[in-house]
């Protein structure tokens, strides 16, 4: 191939052709392309496959840890709510609160499994046993309150105010029902959490939302404090004025009354007189922390 180029200008002699070596331009272009290819870095298919495998293993590990992290976050949230609820109920019971009507939006029901014993001789013999059930549903035959320990008519004593709720929760573990009989009470409250998301609280009344919300079971026990020495004047004065209040929480509340693995026990000592009142034949129990029983030494 003959390539010509013009050398010099255009004069009287015309254009002066100059010959270049055949293929010189094509060779230069090829050399430049070869040089650029040699200097460019790239991954092979094997390297890409290895990188994808490493990323896949990392994603599997991250996805595997994610549910654990979410469960830990949920457990921490539930434990925080339980501590807040425990402080609230502890203060309400030990101070004999009578105006907490907002509890009717949270306390689903209260159940007392009671057993009456005769203490004439050891071991104690069982006279009778039954269950008292209290709910806030009035007029619903399937959810009505039913009291067996006293003469209260069915559906006559519903959880309509905080006075009744706290009075039922303050019931002592061992109740004197007339010598020689003694009653053992096992009081359980099923509660829709007072704390938590506002979308789960009153006035929301959707059954679906409330069923999915955080609910728990609370067992309330009011125990007498045992004393090693009962013959001293100090022990005789302190015994009727000092009790142990114990709240046992189990959560979360599942269908049919079952509970999950959450468990917490809160204890405190409460001083003062435990006063009994009566509403419609139903005994209610309230602590009066500023009133004490004064017994005279023999």
C-alpha–C-alpha distance, residues 248 and 233, integer Å: 33
Alpha helices in the chain (DSSP H): 24-39, 45-94, 162-169, 207-212, 233-238
Beta strands in the chain (DSSP E): 3-6, 17-20, 107-118, 125-135, 174-176, 181-192, 215-224, 242-253, 259-271, 273-279, 282-288
Measured on CA atoms in the order 215, 221, 222, 228, is the torsion positive or negative? negative
- Output the tens digit of pLDDT for each of the chain's 298 residues: 444 444 444 444 555 555 545 555 666 665 665 555 555 577 888 889 999 999 998 888 888 888 888 888 999 999 999 999 999 999 999 999 999 999 999 999 999 999 999 999 889 999 999 999 999 876 666 778 999 999 888 888 999 999 999 999 999 999 998 888 999 999 999 999 999 888 888 888 887 788 788 999 999 999 988 776 667 777 777 878 899 999 999 999 988 778 999 999 999 999 889 999 999 999 999 999 888 876 654 4
Domain range summary for the chain, segments of one domain joined by +: 73-288
C-alpha–C-alpha distance, residues 3 and 24, integer Å: 9
Q: What is the pLDDT of residue 3?
A: 46
**Span 216-255, pLDDT tens digits:** 999 999 998 877 666 777 777 787 889 999 999 999 998 8
């Amino acid at each position: 191939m003959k390539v010509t180029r013009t050398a010099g200008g255009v004069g009287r002699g015309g254009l002066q052709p100059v010959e270049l070596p055949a293929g010189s331009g094509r060779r230069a272009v090829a050399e430049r392309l070869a040089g650029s290819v040699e200097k460019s870095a790239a991954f092979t298919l094997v390297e890409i496959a290895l990188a994808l495998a490493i990323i896949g293993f990392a994603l599997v590990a991250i996805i595997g840890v994610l549910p654990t992290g979410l469960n830990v976050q949920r457990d921490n949230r539930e434990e925080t709510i339980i501590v807040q609820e425990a402080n609230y109920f502890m203060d309400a019971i030990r101070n004999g609160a009578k105006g907490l009507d907002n509890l009717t939006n949270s306390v689903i029901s209260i159940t007392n499994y009671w057993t009456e014993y005769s203490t004439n001789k050891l071991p104690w013999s069982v006279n009778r046993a039954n269950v008292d059930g209290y709910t806030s549903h009035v007029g619903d035959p399937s959810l009505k309150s039913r009291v067996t320990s006293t003469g209260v008519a069915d559906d006559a004593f519903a959880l309509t105010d905080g006075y009744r709720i706290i009075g039922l929760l303050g019931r002592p573990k061992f109740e004197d029902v007339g010598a020689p009989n003694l009653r053992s009470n096992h009081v359980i409250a099923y509660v829709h959490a007072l704390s938590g998301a506002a979308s789960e609280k009153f006035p929301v009344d959707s059954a679906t939302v409330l069923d999915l919300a955080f609910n728990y079971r609370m067992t309330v026990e009011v125990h007498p404090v045992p004393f090693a020495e009962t013959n001293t004047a100090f022990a005789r004065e302190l015994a009727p004025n000092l009790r142990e209040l114990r709240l046992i929480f189990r959560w979360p509340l599942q269908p049919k009354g079952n509970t999950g693995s959450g468990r917490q026990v809160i204890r405190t000592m409460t001083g003062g007189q435990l006063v009994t009142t009566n509403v419609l034949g139903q005994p209610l129990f309230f602590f009066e922390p500023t009133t004490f029983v004064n017994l005279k030494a023999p």
